[in-house]
Amino acid sequence: MGLNKMVQILNFNSKLKALAVLILLTIYSQSSFASSAADVSSDLDQSKSAHPSQRKYKLIRDSETHHASRDFMRGHPVAAHGHALLAKFGKTHPAALPKAHDIRLSLAKTIDAANALFPVYDQGNLGSGAANASAAALQFKGLQEKFDKATPSRLFIYYNERANDSTLDVTQDSGASIADSLAAITRFGACPESEWKYSDDTTSSNPLFTQKPSAKCYADALKDADTDSTATAGIPQNSNTLHLFKTILNHNNPILLGLNLYESFKSDDVAQSGMVPMPNTTSEQLKGGHALMVTGYNDATQRITIRNSWGSSWGDKGYCYVPYDYITNADLASDFWFVSKVGAKKAASASSSSHQ
């Protein structure tokens, strides 16, 4: 979709500011997820040299007892804009959609070439899954609109996720929900990772993840963010969710989501192939919740393609393939967010002309 069309849909009557436009649209389901150290610290393998199937990442499902960030996103003054765009997407007839699509092909002619432009992150020993997923979505849109190749600072986002939520402690590797992540980006933006580098150190006396980013980081983050243009819309998880996923992906927008992960997700087979089975929730142990980014779908295999943040040696070059039935099961998946970012004035001009 071209920028001019999107602007018409969202009824932007005033000129775009000289700041970046960030559009975050939510497809709300019944619960949200976070990555955390709190309840599964025994599930952590500190060795970075271990095989991907043996490396352990901090996972926890957010009990969703606190809704401040989600309510902020849903109650944002421009929430109606998001509803308008989602309503338009919802009118797309299923027959009009291709049987398979991957948004990475909007970056390059092949998936391998796109992966070279858009490397998979490795969150390491830090419970920053939501920050990694949202940073990936922002970087993807920057690459797609050809105005910013930089990786957003994941630690900047992770700090503000926790600082922005009164129930979380910035001195603890507590994790955060996807809603916390996007609310933090909406309020503070995201500076480049070159300014506030990533570190998964949790054992030193003053680890970087506990430190507030510099004033320059905040200034640089906000100069490229137009938080007044945030749009939020929510729909329940229902029989139309998968169709909406496909429609959003065909407009080349990434989707963030939370998954409940069972033992089979962390098996050697998945670490080597990326093919995620349906878990046996009766016999398998629930390992926790995790935030990830959806990039595609395939009706022939009945699977969606998901970008993880466990490095490129895990799964299929950092990606995995999750059954449709996994996504449509509210006990296994929820907290769906559609993310779209349009650039600053100079980038917006280039983007508009390239989409004519």
The answer to whether residue 163 sits within a structural domain is no
DSSP result, 115-161: HHHSPPPB-TTS--HHHHHHHHHHHHHHHHTTS--PPB-HHHHHHHH
- Asked whether residue 138 carries a pLDDT value surpassing 80, the answer given is yes
**pLDDT value at residue 88:** 85
Percent of the chain with pLDDT over 70: 70
Helices 79-90 and 241-250, axial angle in degrees (round to 10): 100
Alpha helices, DSSP H, located in the chain = 3-9, 68-74, 79-90, 111-117, 129-144, 154-163, 178-188, 215-223, 241-250, 268-273, 324-327, 345-354
The answer to whether residue 190 sits within a structural domain is no
Residues 6 or more apart whose CB falls under 8 angstroms from that of 117 comprise 107, 108, 143, 149
**pLDDT value at residue 45:** 41
**Contact (Cβ atoms closer than 8 angstroms) between residue 201 and residue 208:** yes
Q: How many CB atoms lie within 10 A of CB 321?
A: 20
The answer to whether residue 198 sits within a structural domain is no
Helices 178-188 and 154-163, axial angle in degrees (round to 10): 100
The answer to whether residue 48 sits within a structural domain is yes
The answer to whether residue 77 sits within a structural domain is yes
- Asked whether residue 232 carries a pLDDT value surpassing 80, the answer given is no
Q: How many CB atoms lie within 10 A of CB 203?
A: 7
pLDDT in tens, 87-137: 888 889 999 999 999 999 999 999 999 999 999 999 999 999 999 999 999
**pLDDT value at residue 323:** 99
More confident residue, 148 or 18: 148
The parent domain of residue 37 ranges over 3-148+225-354
**Contact (Cβ atoms closer than 8 angstroms) between residue 154 and residue 121:** yes
The answer to whether residue 188 sits within a structural domain is no
**Contact (Cβ atoms closer than 8 angstroms) between residue 254 and residue 137:** yes
Phi, psi of 161 (to 5 degrees): -55, -50
**pLDDT value at residue 82:** 65
**pLDDT value at residue 86:** 78
- The DSSP element (H or E) to which 26 belongs, if any, is strand 21-27
Burial call 208-234: b when 16+ CB within 10 Å, e when fewer: bbbeebeeebbebbbebbbbebbbbbb
The answer to whether residue 300 sits within a structural domain is yes
Q: Is 60 helix (H, G, I), strand (E, B) or coil?
A: strand
Largest CA distance in the chain: 57
- Asked whether residue 159 carries a pLDDT value surpassing 70, the answer given is yes
pTM over 0.75: yes
The half-sphere exposure of 352 on its side-chain side, counting CA atoms within 13 A, is 13
The answer to whether residue 218 sits within a structural domain is no
**Which tokens belong to 76?**
């944002």
More confident residue, 37 or 75: 75
**pLDDT value at residue 185:** 86
* Lowest mean pLDDT, pick from 61-70, 89-98, 201-210: 61-70
What's 288's DSSP letter?
Answer: E
d(CA 257, CA 245): 11
**Which tokens belong to 215?**
């004033």
Q: Are strands 333-342 and 255-262 parallel, antiparallel or unpaired?
A: antiparallel
**Contact (Cβ atoms closer than 8 angstroms) between residue 2 and residue 355:** yes
Q: Domain tally for the chain?
A: 1
- Asked whether residue 211 carries a pLDDT value surpassing 50, the answer given is yes
* Lowest mean pLDDT, pick from 39-48, 61-70, 108-117: 39-48
**Domain of residue 254, CATH code:** 3.90.70
Q: How confident is the model at residue 24 (pLDDT cuts 50, 70, 90)?
A: low
